[in-house]
Structure 1
Amino acid sequence: MAPKSPVCDFGWKAPDFRLPATDHHFYDLSGLKAENGLVLAFICNHCPYVRAVLDRILRDAGDLAPLGVGFAAICSNDAESHPDDSFENMVKLAEEKNFFFPYLHDEDQSVARAYGAVCTPDFFGFNGKLELQYRGRLDASRDSAGPPDLTRELYEAMAQVARTGEGPREQVPSMGCSIKWAES
C-alpha cells in the first residue's frame, strides 16, 4: 500500500533551508514565500503518482501565484538507487514541463527529514507567517489522473489560507510513492 502523509500539525513552523534548483540558483525559505503563503511540494521524476498529476500541480501553482502564494518543488529521493531522480534528470524534467517555480534538489535529504516528508507527492501549505495550514492531497487522483472535474483540494485550501491565514480543518492526506531514502 502507498504511504500517506500525516495529518496537518496546524501552526508548525517551517524549518529554514538553502537548496540548489534546476535553474542553477540557490533558494532559501524566505526567498520562496510570497505575501500570503507558500506551498512546498515534495515530488520526484519517476513516481507514477507525481507523473499522473504533474500538469495539475503546474496549473494549481500558476493559479495560486495571483493569490500571493509562492510555490516550490523539492526532490529528496536518493539518486544512487533511483537515477531517474538525479539532478541532471530534474533539470530535464523542469525544462520539458516548463517549470516556472523552483525545483529544488535535497541531495542529503536533510530537508525531507526536517519536514517529515514521507511520500511523493507530499504537500506542505504555509500561511504568510510560515505556519503549516495544509498537509493534504492535490485532489482525489491516485497513480493515474482522476477526471478533470475533481475538487482542487490543494488550490481551494491555499486560496482559503491566502484569504484568512488558516487552512481547512478537514484534510485528506496525500498518497504516493515513499521517499527513497539513502542507505545509512
Structure 2
Amino acid sequence: MPKTESNPIALGTPAADFLLPDADGRLHRLADSQESPALLVAFLSNRCPFVVLIREALADFAREYGPRGLAIVGINANDPVAHPEETLARIGQEAAQQGYDFPYLKDADQAVAKAYGAACTPDFFLFDGQRRLAYHGQFDDARPGNGKPVTGADLRAAVEKVLAGAQVEGRQVPSIGCNIKWTPGNEPEWFSSAA
C-alpha cells in the first residue's frame, strides 16, 4: 500500500487560521479554541486504512483529553469529486459513526491543508497555548498489518507535556499514511504523485 510521510514542519510555527464548515453547516475557526491550553489539528480521511486503524482510539483519546483542556479539530481535505466517500455529508456520517466529539470539517479548496503543510492522513499538528507548533508526528507506531497495538502513545506523551506547560522533548517520528487526495491541478509543490 502506498505510504506518504508527514512533511517536516519547524516547531514553533504558528497555527494557520481557518474558517471551515462541518456537515451541519456550522462554521469553525481557529479562534474558537483560544481558551484551550492546547490544540490538536488532525487531517483525517474516511477511507484511508491508516486512519481507519486508529479512528476508534482517536475518538477515545478525544473524550479523554477534551475535559483536560485539549481542543481538537479534524479536517478532511481530500478531493470529494474523485473520492465521493470524502464529501461533507459523508464526513458528518463518519463523525457520528465513530463518536467523534470534536468538529470534523471540510477543507473543500484544500487551502487549509496547504497552509499547514499537511501531506498525509492522518497528519497531527499539536499546538501549545500560544498556538505554536509543539508536536508534529505519529499517533503511535501501529500501522495496518504490523500487528502493533493502537495506543496513541506518542501523541499522548506530547499532549501531557503541552498541558503541563512543558516542552515536548525527543525525536518526533513523522506520521505515515495515505497522501492527501489533491484536486487535479491543485497539488502543492511538495506533493509527489509517486507517493
TM-score range for the pair, normalised by the shorter chain length: over 0.9
Q: Cα RMSD over matched residues?
A: 1.7
SS in 2 for 1:77: coil
Q: Residues 114-153 of structure 1 correspond to what in structure 2 (within 5 A)? A: 114-144=115-145, 146-148=147-149, 150=151, 152-153=153-154
For 1:16-48, what per-residue CA distance to the aligned partner results, in whole angstroms no more than 9, with x for missing partners? 110001243110001034521100000010101
TM-superposed CA distance for 1:173, in Å, is 0.6
CA distance in 1 between counterparts of 2:48 and 2:126 reads 21
TM-superposed CA distance for 1:156, in Å, is 1.3
Alignment CA distance shift 1:51-1:34 (3 Å): farther
For 1:44-87, what per-residue CA distance to the aligned partner results, in whole angstroms no more than 9, with x for missing partners? 10101000100111111122213211001000000111111111
Q: Among the aligned pairs, what percent are the same residue?
A: 35
TM-score scaled by length of structure 2:
0.88
CA distance in 2 between counterparts of 1:124 and 1:150 reads 18
> Which runs of structure 1 show a deviation greater than 3 angstroms over 4 or more consecutive aligned residues?
144-151
CA contact (8 A) 1:36 1:67 kept: no
- 1:40 counterpart residue number: 41
TM-score scaled by length of structure 1:
0.93
- 1:22 counterpart residue number: 23
Alignment CA distance shift 1:150-1:28 (3 Å): closer
CA distance in 2 between counterparts of 1:72 and 1:149 reads 20
Residue 104 in structure 1 maps to residue 105 in structure 2: yes
CA contact (8 A) 1:52 1:144 kept: no
For 1:112-155, what per-residue CA distance to the aligned partner results, in whole angstroms no more than 9, with x for missing partners? 00000000000000001000001011111112585447461111
Amino acid at match of 1:115: Y
Q: How many residues align?
A: 184
Greater shift, 135-144 or 104-113, is seen at 135-144
Alignment CA distance shift 1:130-1:146 (3 Å): farther
The answer for unaligned runs of 5 or more in structure 1 is none
